[in-house]
């Protein structure tokens, strides 16, 4: 941990929200509120004045909205972490997805009843503060959090994959928007995917990515027959599992208890894919907080499958891929720009030039 406190610029048009967020952040000994701003225009002016380490940015604001502010901020501060503050509404979710694809680091949803001060304060403690620290790399090294000693990288199985299973969290929409458009419609195997997001958000993410890709991308439905060239995203608040029926993969959804505090959970998906596809499974762990996917990757390796992890330099948070890498479970650790080419090679295809 650095000797100085983490400096946060809080941007929200609601006075009560700025007050609540500021008060709770100041209670944390590792954080200080460098400044607050009621709209995007004032926020952009304060950036150079207060030099924050991270910005919390309301999605919907007058004068200059969150997305417009984010785009302007990215032109002058391309690496500055930004966490969007969003409402759990269709409009708020749509704007949040757009912001994430435009380069926001992560998001936190506001409590449904902002009038409940205690609920709002608890949401900030439980969700916003951990994300602020993670995107600013103020969390403990991933190999110490579970007592995992670094091991040698796993050996490649040598099998061409019959399915790709992807797990991703913080920074995921931006990472997926960089990877999936590079894959052709002729990609020869199905892709199943868990992105940690609530309901509505996952559907809108699927629609947004589908409009940008040659692949067909949809939110998974119970009973979907998995097809090559298609991506199936786990719906918010539902685990996605894969089973074999008459020789082909079929998606199934359930609402069993969360794992790693997540539903959907990467571990749940990875275990089911390893059970259904064995050595023909390719697991991919991209940027994200926590260690969801670690135990699932262990099962994939035990089944003879392969695992790819995103590298630290290109991850918004090297939590999920960091745990997998340091546990020696990754056959390859690759930067974001090389993930698509690696998937093509693993699926026995020649990358498009």
Q: Which residues of 300-320 are buried (b: 16+ CB within 10 A; e: fewer)?
A: bbebebbbbbbbbebbbbbbb
DSSP, residue by residue, 198-242: -TTHHHHHHHHHHTT-SSEEEE--TTPBP-TTEEEEPPTTSEEEE
264, with CB counted inside 10 A (0-12, 13-18, 19+), is buried
Determine the pLDDT at residue 119.
Answer: 82
Same domain, residue pair 47 and 78 = yes
C-alpha torsion angle, residues 167, 169, 175, 176 (rounded to 10): 50
Could you say which of 114, 135, 156 is where a domain stops? 135
> Which CATH number is 335's domain given?
3.40.50.180
Tell me: do 250 and 109 sit in the same domain. no
228 domain residue, yes or no: yes
Mutual angle of helices 294-302 and 266-277, in 10-degree steps: 10
For 133-161, letters b (16+ CB in 10 Å) and e give bbbbebbeebbeeeebeeeeebeebebbb
Of the candidates 12, 58, 162, 292, the residue annotated as catalytic is 292
What's the confidence (pLDDT) of residue 293?
98
pLDDT of residue 117: 81
Task: Please state the domain count of the chain.
Answer: 2
- Among the listed residues 86, 105, 169, 306, the single catalytic one is 169
Residue 48 burial (CB count, 10 A): 9
User: What pLDDT is recorded for position 60?
Assistant: 86
pLDDT digits (tens, 9 = 90+) for 195-231: 999 999 999 999 999 999 999 999 999 999 999 999 9
Residue 351 lies in a domain: no
Residues 187-214 as b/e (b if ≥16 CB within 10 A, e otherwise) read bebbbbbbbbbeebbbbbbbebbbeebe
Query: 282 and 229, same structural domain?
Result: yes
Active site residue 77: no
Active-site residue 159, yes or no? no
Residue ranges for the chain with pLDDT beneath 50: 1, 141-157, 350-353
Evaluate whether residue 99 is within a structural domain.
yes
pLDDT tens, residue by residue, 97-126:
999 988 899 999 876 555 578 888 888 999
Query: Is 140 within the bounds of a domain?
Result: no
Choose, from 105, 196, 238, 272, the residue flagged as catalytic: 196
The angle that helices 172-179 and 201-210 make with each other, rounded to 10 degrees, is 20
Last residue of a domain, one of 135, 157, 175: 135
CATH of the domain at 23: 3.40.50.2300
Element housing 249 (H / E): strand 248-254
Domain shared by 224 and 256, yes or no: yes
Tell me what pLDDT residue 113 has.
Answer: 53
What domain range includes position 322? Answer: 145-346
Last residue in a domain, options 107, 135, 163: 135
Residue 353 lies in a domain: no
Residue 238 bears catalytic tag: no
pLDDT recorded at residue 1? 43
Asked if residue 256 belongs to a domain, the reply is: yes
Q: Is 171 in the same domain as 125?
A: no
Residues 89 and 210 in one domain: no
- How confident is the model at residue 4, as a pLDDT? 83
- pLDDT at 159 (0 to 100): 61
């Amino acid at each position: 941990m650095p000797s100085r406190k983490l400096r946060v610029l809080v941007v929200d048009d609601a006075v009560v929200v700025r007050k609540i967020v500021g008060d709770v952040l100041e209670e944390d000994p590792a954080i200080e509120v460098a400044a607050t701003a009621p709209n995007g225009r004032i926020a952009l002016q304060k950036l150079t004045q207060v030099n924050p380490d991270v910005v919390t940015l309301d999605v919907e604001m007058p004068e200059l909205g969150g997305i417009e502010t984010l785009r302007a901020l990215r032109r002058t501060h391309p690496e500055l972490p930004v966490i969007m503050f969003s409402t759990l509404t269709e409009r708020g979710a749509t704007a949040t997805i757009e912001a994430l694809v435009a380069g926001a680091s992560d998001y936190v949803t506001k409590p449904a009843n902002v009038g409940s001060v205690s609920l709002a304060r608890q949401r900030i403690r439980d969700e916003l503060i951990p994300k602020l620290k993670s995107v600013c790399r103020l969390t403990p090294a991933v190999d110490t959090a579970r007592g995992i000693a670094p091991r040698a990288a796993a050996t490649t199985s040598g099998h061409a994959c019959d399915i790709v299973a992807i797990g991703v969290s913080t920074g995921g929409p931006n990472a997926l928007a960089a990877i999936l458009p590079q894959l052709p419609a002729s990609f020869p195997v199905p892709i199943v995917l868990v992105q940690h997001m609530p309901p509505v958000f996952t559907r809108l993410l699927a629609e947004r990515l589908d409009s940008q890709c040659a692949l067909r991308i949809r939110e998974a439905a119970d009973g979907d027959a998995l097809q090559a060239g298609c991506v199936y995203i786990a719906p918010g608040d539902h685990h996605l599992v894969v089973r074999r029926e008459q020789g082909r993969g079929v998606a199934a959804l359930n609402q069993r208890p969360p794992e790693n505090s997540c539903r959907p959970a990467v571990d749940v998906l990875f275990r089911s894919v390893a059970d259904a596809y064995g050595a023909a499974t390719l697991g991919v762990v991209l940027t994200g907080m926590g260690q969801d996917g670690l135990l699932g990757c262990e099962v994939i390796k035990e089944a003879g499958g392969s695992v790819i992890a995103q590298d630290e330099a290109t991850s918004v948070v090297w939590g999920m891929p960091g745990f997998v890498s340091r546990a020696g479970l990754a056959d390859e650790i690759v930067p974001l720009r090389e993930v698509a080419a690696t998937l093509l090679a693993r699926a026995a295809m020649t990358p498009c030039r």
